Structure 1
Amino acid sequence: MLKIPAGDFQGAIFDCDGTLADSMPVHYQAWVEAFKAHHAKFDFTWELFYSMAGTGLEDSVVQLNERFGDTLDPHATVKTQMEMLDHLHHKITPIVEVIEIARQYAAEGKKISVSSGGTYRHVHETLQQAGVHELFPVIITREDYTHSKPAPDCFLLAAERMGVPPESCVVFEDSLLGIESANRANMASVYVQPEIYSKGSGI
Structure 2
Amino acid sequence: MYKKAVIFDMDGVLIDSEPLWQTAQMESLVSFGVVITPHDCEQMTMGKRIDEIARTWCEAYTLPVSAQQLQTMILTQLCHLISTTGEAMPGVYEALDYFASQGLKIALATSSNHVVIKAVFDRLQLWNKFSVVCSAEDEVHGKPHPDVYLTVAGKLQLAVTECLVIEDSFTDLTAAKRANMTTYLVSPYSEQSKFSIADKRFVNLDCVVQSYEKLVSQSNLSDSLQ
For Structure 1 versus Structure 2, the TM-score category normalised by the shorter chain is: 0.7 to 0.9
- The DSSP-based 3-state class of the residue aligned with 1:25 is helix
Which contiguous aligned blocks of 4+ residues in structure 1 show a shift greater than 3 angstroms? 63-66, 194-197
Cα distance in 2 for residues equivalent to 1:143 and 1:87: 20
Q: Deviations over 1:19-58 (max 9, x none)?
A: 0111111111011011112344xx5322332243221101
- Counterpart in 1 of 2:39? 47
Mapped pair 1:63 → 2:62: no
Match of 1:96 among 90, 93, 106: 90
Alpha-carbon contact 2:58-2:67 (below 8 Å) kept: no
- Per the alignment, residue 185 of structure 1 pairs with 179
The RMSD of aligned alpha carbons is 1.9
Q: Structure 1 pair 79/69, CA: closer, same or farther in 2 (3 Å)?
A: closer
Q: TM-score, normalised to structure 1's length?
A: 0.84
How far is the alpha carbon of 1:60 from its aligned partner?
Answer: 1.7
Identity over aligned pairs, percent:
24
User: Which of 154, 158, 162 is residue 156 of structure 2 equivalent to?
Assistant: 162
Between the two structures, name the one with larger relative contact order (CA 8 Å, sep ≥ 6): 1
Does the alignment pair 1:26 with 2:17? Answer: no
Match of 2:106 among 112, 137, 157: 112
- Greater Rg over alpha carbons, structure: 2
Provide TM-score, normalisation by structure 2: 0.76
Q: 1:194 to 1:77 in 2, by over 3 A?
A: farther
Partner Cα distance (2:50, 2:25) in 1: 10
CA shift digits 1:81-138 (9 cap, x unpaired): 1221233122110113243222211122111101111111111220221222210021
Change (3 A) 1:194 1:88: farther
Q: 1:129 aligns with which of 123, 126, 129?
A: 123
* 2-structure distance, mates of 1:156, 1:149: 12
Residues 83, 194 of structure 1: CA spacing in aligned structure 2 closer, same or farther, 3 A cutoff?
Answer: farther
Q: How many pairs are equivalent?
A: 188
Cα distance in structure 2, aligned partners of 1:84 and 1:125: 12
- CA distance in structure 2 between the partners assigned to 1:27 and 1:194 by the alignment: 18
Specify the alignment match of 1:82 in structure 2.
75
Give the gaps of 5 or more residues in structure 1.
Answer: 1-6, 198-203
2:215 maps to what in 1? none
2:29 aligned partner: 35
Give the aligned residue type for 1:16.
M
Long gaps (5+) in structure 2: 190-202, 205-226
1:69 Cα shift? 5.7
1:148 partner SS = coil
Residue aligning to 1:3: none
* Distance in 2 (alpha carbons) for counterparts of 1:143 and 1:165: 23
